[in-house]
Structures are given as C-alpha cells and as structure tokens.
Amino acid sequence: MISPANYVALAAILFVIGGVGVLVRRNALVVFMCVELMLNAVNLAFVAFARLHGDLTGQVIAFFVMVVAAAEVVVGLAILTSIFRARRSASVDDANLLKY
C-alpha cells in the first residue's frame, strides 16, 4: 500500500498549481479549470484520509464538493458566456467595473 503521505503530497502539489493558476492567469476559462484543480486536490486529500481511517465521511464530503463544484461551474460558465458576448473578451481583468 502506498503511503498516505504520497497522497497528501500530491494533493498539496495539485492545490498549489491550481492556486497559482487562479492568481496568474487572466483567461476566465483557465481560472475556472484551476479552481477545479484546487477542489479536486482537496477531494483527493479527503478520500485519502477516509481510506486511512476506514471512515466514509470523507468520501461523502468529496461527493458534496463535486456536486457544489458542478453547480458553481454551471453558474460561472453562464456568466462567462454573457460577459464574452458583451465584451468579446474572457479576460477577468477586463471585467473590473464593480469597484470604488
């Protein structure tokens, strides 16, 4: 059996990649994908620990996260589509009207 430390390490790496992606990329679609990466990194950690402890709670939470992520993507992509239609751009830096 592979050591749980490996799973946690993989989850951490994936989370950091996702986080950096959210911060540095301008394309909203890519930002979304990075968010997915972060969520799935967390899921991986949940499942790994659930397996380690022989408890199903972590796995159930992973399902919840997937459902919420799916809903979030639906709403997010809808907003993204309408912004793109209006502005011909998917850059998150261009949509900055809601400010001081």
Partner 1 sequence: MTGSLAGALAGTVTHAAAVTTLPAVGVQRLAWLLLAFPTAGATILLLGGRRTNAWGHLVGCAMSLAAFGYGVIAFAAMLGYPAGQRGREVQVYTWIPAIGRFHANIGLLLDPLSICFVLLITGVGSLIHIYSIGYMSHDPERRRFFGYLNLFITAMLLLVLADNYVALYAGWEGVGLASYLLIGFWQFKPAAAVAAKKAFVANRVGDAGLSLGIMLMFATFGSVSFAGVFSAAHQASATTITAIGLLLLLGACGKSAQLPLQSWLLDAMEGPTPVSALIHAATMVTAGVYLIVRSAPIFNLSANARLLVTIVGAATLLFGAIIGCAKDDIKKALAGSTMSQIGYMMLAAGLGPAGYALAIAHLLSHGFFKAGLFLGAGSVKHAMNDDVDMRRFGGLATAMKITFVTFTFGYLAIIGVPPFSGFFTKDPIIEAAFDQGGTSGAILGTAALIGAGITGFYMTRVLLLTFTGKRRWEDDRHPHEVSTVMTSPMVILAIGSLGAGGFLMIANRLIGFLRPVVGTPPPSHGFFAPLSWLTLALVLVGAGIAWVMYSRREVPVTAPRGSFVTVAARKDLYGDALNESLLMRPGQWLTRLAVYFDNRGLDGIVNTIAATMGGLSGRVRRVQTGFVRSYALSMLVGALLLVGALLLVQL
Q: Which residues, 17 to 76, sit near partner 1 by CB under 8 A? A: 19, 22-24, 26, 31
- Name the residue nearer to partner 1 (CB basis): 60 or 90: 90
Query: Exposed, middle or buried: residue 46 (CB in 10 Å: 0-12, 13-18, 19+)?
Result: buried
Q: Which residues, 75 to 94, sit near partner 1 by CB under 8 A? A: 92-93
Q: Which residues neighbour 14 within 8 Å (Cβ) at sequence distance 6 or greater?
A: 37, 38, 40, 41, 44
Residues of this chain that bind partner 1 (CB under 8 A): 19, 22-24, 26, 31, 92-93, 95-100
